[in-house]
Amino acid sequence: HAIRREDYCAPAFWIDSVDLTFDLDPQKTRVLNRMTLRRNPDLAAQPLRLDGEDLNLARVLVDGQGCSFKMEGQRLVLEKLPDSAPFTLEIFSTCCPVKNTQLMGLHMSQGSFFTQCEAEGFRRITYFLDRPDVMASYSVTLRADRALYPVLLSNGNLVASGALEGGRHFARWVDPHKKPCYLFALVAGKLVAREQRIRSRSGREHLLQVYVRPGDLAKTEHAMRALMHSVAWDEARFDLPLDLERFMIVATSDFNMGAMENKGLNIFNTKYVLASEATATDTDYAYIESVVGHEYFHNWTGNRVTCRDWFQLSLKEGLTVFRDQEFSQDLAGSASARAVLRIKDVRVLRTMQFAEDAGPMAHPVRPDSYVEIDNFYTVTVYEKGAEVVRMMHTLVGREGFARGLRLYFERHDGQAVTCDDFAQAIADANPASALARLLPQFKRWYSQAGTPRVRASGSYDAATRCYTLSLAQSCAPTPGQPDKQPFVIPVELGLLSASGAALPLHLADAAPHAAASDEATHLVVLTEAEQTLVFSDLDGEPVPSLLRNFSAPVLLDMACTDSQLLTLLAHDTDPFNRWEAGQRLALRRAMAAIADKACGANGRIGQPILCAEFVAAMRGVLRHPTLEPAFKDLVLMMPSESYIAEQLDVVDPQRVHTVREAMCEQLALALHADWVWAWEQSQSRGGYCPDPASSGRRALGGLALSLLCLAARSTGDTLWPAKAYQCFKDATNMTERFNALVALVSCDSELAAPALARFHAQFRDEPLVVDKWFALQATAFDRGGNVLPVVRQLMQHPDFNLKNPNRARSLLFGYCNANPGAFHRADAAGYVFWRERVLEIDPINPQIAARLARALEHWKKLAEPWRSAAREAISRVAAKPDLSPDLREVLNCALE
């Protein structure tokens, strides 16, 4: 029962207005839904089929009269309806919020009511045409017990409120904007708000509110500041103003994802709202800023212009991720701080999205079919979708892109549209651009799954003083797509001399890239399977710097020497490629060690993995007088196990783990004095501030401390673990405290256990910190297989709760996804644990179960005995009857 994109058909009816009345009660909430509908005149007359799920239907009236209806599965079907005129439909039903553990539709969290409707949760609230192309005007009356639920919120403006009999009260909300039902929201409970009045550029006044549970108000300052920045940024960069008098954010601790952009009433996972220096790390602060931005930016890209159908999800998500990335970069300010954010985004893309694209769940940015849409809120739709938008931005330039967005809103404001409509608007606003010229081919980024591979090779001819660079692209088959057509690939590039000087580019058919900040960067647009570029007037063989700033989401194979990579690492003007050169060098060493049978027999790596030149280059970066600590931290961080695994056809997870550990240990020992120096440099002065410069300093300090403790593990030194314990105890902010704790836990110090106990005792009343406590133990160093028993024990801990997604994620995803060395056990006990948990969670929350199931998605790449053990575990889950469609779809894909 897959749904296919090509089967799209407009709705047979339009819903013009919806008036909802809720009598909120945890056991039995009554919902009265009064709609005005009319037939879609463009379609032949047909019955009205309304979606519904887990509802108890009490009454249906058409134009005030009883009428006949039937059920088709969970759908409510009305056959006899007025032909031409609009008519009213009144539906009375009930639902049970306390039993709603899947957290879709109306549910409870800590005694308050919340809703989550995207993608298809509104049907769990009332019968409706639950599809994004049906846009209606909403008015909502909420009635509830005044003492238990003093705050009653919904979308739009509060138009009336007051007391009712029996200790109850009501609030009536009217949303001035039409919207699809997935943007509907209500919240009712004991909440308090931080408020801020702002005036937008146009002079309009707005009220911003951040609602949380009473004890959490002090932790909302950062989210409020991020919201104010978001409003100002969208106005300044894209001329997009806030279109509401009131904009609300509400935090809940039970949430399946990060946050939700309901019109005027965003609902957030507490993880992306609450922060204090005592409880949140720099990374938490940065995520809060970007998620607040993301949901706010949806107000235009998602809400004002929405998706025609869920296949177009990337229309809003890819574009909005691009916008939140640009927001964070603009806020960070300096070129170096921007590059740091870019590198982090690319790291996520390459470890998560490239893996998805290479696995059984590979799908295009605009998928062609799905069973359960919740499974398609993926890194492909979000992060690769953002890269597709970024490439358009590169092809038309910053001004051109702003012009394109303006045209997009001129054409489509108030509509539900497609990815094609978006690309067309950007191209039409820039008729002379490469995007306009190549649009049909460019749109293959939307239709073809898989990561393109670009092979580059260069040759220098001393006689003609020319350098010839050949670029060839290909893309491996993905499920259902055996053959791929060439993509449009924007390649930003530059050349360096062997000594590292930027060289002027003399190249036929390429102009300096307008968007690039330095003149030595050109933009070449690949369109063919193979292309050759000739650079003239060169005195010697240059060092190519390709795909600067990661200008396209591709795999780049560059036949270049170590010494060329060392040149790039030391001198490239493009910080991204500078970082990339270091990663490539490290990756080369890792791959060689993994392939070398002599190295690492019986789990011990005898010889050094990293060569002297590489170590010296790392020292050069670490000691560099002007590079930012945040950038140094990224360069000195070895590629992750998952990124290394991705480069391999057959993965022995234990070997990957051992080799990476050995690399880190070598770097720790060889640069010991430098790490000590770096750690001392990083020690905080003055108060806490989560700005890019100070968080970069803390990040590098954390890496230094981790490696010094790692070195201590092999030398038997007790000084650094003791120092780490001291730091852990004395830290004045969570970032430094947690970094120290991580250092102790990951080097398997004897001080780890007392530190963990102390940490729990200190923060037991801070749920988000307790999540960190669980996650850290799940991702700890695995001494003789001790992590799994610890994880099993932690499931019995009074603070553990499988029904709370954050808590479940911290322990289970921490172990199954983030600790490959401990999860991929030769005795398959990790997979048995996975199987039990997936089956245990599925009846509670299918979305979370399906996500956890994906931990074994790449089982086919595993070496034996892991491969067979993983297949066995997956098959045993798949053999169960009554699995959710979410989980079933993931398992079927994995098993093919």
Residues designated catalytic: 295
When CB distances are held under 5 to 8 angstroms depending on the partner's kind, the choice from Zn ion, ligand ARG, none that residue 824 binds is none
User: Which residues, other chains included, contact 340 with Cβ-Cβ below 8 Å and sequence gap of 6+?
Assistant: 332, 575, 628, 630, 631, 634, 692, 696
Report in angstroms how near the CB of residue 846 gets to ligand ARG at its nearest: 10
Q: Among the candidate windows 220-228, 259-267, 494-502, 651-659, which touches ligand ARG by CB under 6 A?
A: 259-267
Strand partners, 467: 460, 535
CB nearer to ligand ARG: pick between 210 and 874: 210
When CB distances are held under 5 to 8 angstroms depending on the partner's kind, the choice from Zn ion, ligand ARG, none that residue 259 binds is ligand ARG
Q: Which of 139, 256, 549, 583 binds ligand ARG (CB under 6 A)?
A: 256
Helix (H, G, I), strand (E, B) or coil at 456: strand
Report in angstroms how near the CB of residue 256 gets to ligand ARG at its nearest: 5
Q: What is the DSSP letter of 384?
A: I
Q: Among the candidate windows 241-249, 310-318, 462-470, 504-512, which touches Zn ion by CB under 5 A?
A: 310-318
In the chain, the amino acid numbered 567 is T
CB nearer to Zn ion: pick between 317 and 345: 317
For position 371 contacting ligand ARG by CB under 6 A, the verdict is no
Report in angstroms how near the CB of residue 476 gets to Zn ion at its nearest: 29
When CB distances are held under 5 to 8 angstroms depending on the partner's kind, the choice from Zn ion, ligand ARG, none that residue 260 binds is ligand ARG
Question: What part of residues 311-330 is at the interface with Zn ion (CB under 5 A)?
Answer: 317, 320
For position 284 contacting ligand ARG by CB under 6 A, the verdict is no
The CA distance from 318 to 303, in Å, is 14
- Token couple for 11: 């709705």
How many residues interact with Zn ion (rule CB under 5 A)? 2
User: Which residues, other chains included, contact 530 with Cβ-Cβ below 8 Å and sequence gap of 6+?
Assistant: 470, 471, 472, 473
**With helix as H, strand as E and coil as C, how does 708-730 read?**
HHHHHHHHCCCHHHHHHHHHHHH
Q: Which of 317, 356, 580, 646 binds ligand ARG (CB under 6 A)?
A: 317
In the chain, the amino acid numbered 557 is D
Question: What part of residues 421-480 is at the interface with ligand ARG (CB under 6 A)?
Answer: none
CA dihedral sign, ordered 65, 66, 67, 72: positive
Build a one-symbol-per-residue string for 822-861: x at contacts with ligand ARG by CB under 6 A, - elsewhere: -------------------------x--------------
Question: What part of residues 3-62 is at the interface with ligand ARG (CB under 6 A)?
Answer: none
Report in angstroms how near the CB of residue 244 gets to ligand ARG at its nearest: 17
Burial of 205 (0-12, 13-18, 19+ CB in 10 A): exposed
CB nearer to ligand ARG: pick between 302 and 544: 302
User: Which residues, other chains included, contact 740 with Cβ-Cβ below 8 Å and sequence gap of 6+?
Assistant: 702, 705, 724, 725, 727, 728, 731, 755
- Token couple for 767: 């749920």
- Is residue 727 within 8 A of residue 708, CB to CB? The reply is no
The CA distance from 273 to 285, in Å, is 9
When CB distances are held under 5 to 8 angstroms depending on the partner's kind, the choice from Zn ion, ligand ARG, none that residue 256 binds is ligand ARG
How many residues interact with ligand ARG (rule CB under 6 A)? 13
For position 295 contacting ligand ARG by CB under 6 A, the verdict is yes
When CB distances are held under 5 to 8 angstroms depending on the partner's kind, the choice from Zn ion, ligand ARG, none that residue 375 binds is none
Report in angstroms how near the CB of residue 382 gets to ligand ARG at its nearest: 7
Q: What is the DSSP letter of 639?
A: P
Build a one-symbol-per-residue string for 100-139: x at contacts with ligand ARG by CB under 6 A, - elsewhere: ------------------xx--------------------
Q: Which of 191, 259, 456, 502 binds ligand ARG (CB under 6 A)?
A: 259
CB nearer to Zn ion: pick between 194 and 390: 390
The CA distance from 829 to 844, in Å, is 23
Helix, strand, coil shares of the chain, percent, nearest 5, are 45, 20, 35
- Is residue 861 within 8 A of residue 651, CB to CB? The reply is yes
Give the binding site for ligand ARG (CB under 6 A). Answer: 118-119, 256-257, 259-261, 294-295, 317, 374, 377, 847
Give the binding site for Zn ion (CB under 5 A). Answer: 317, 320
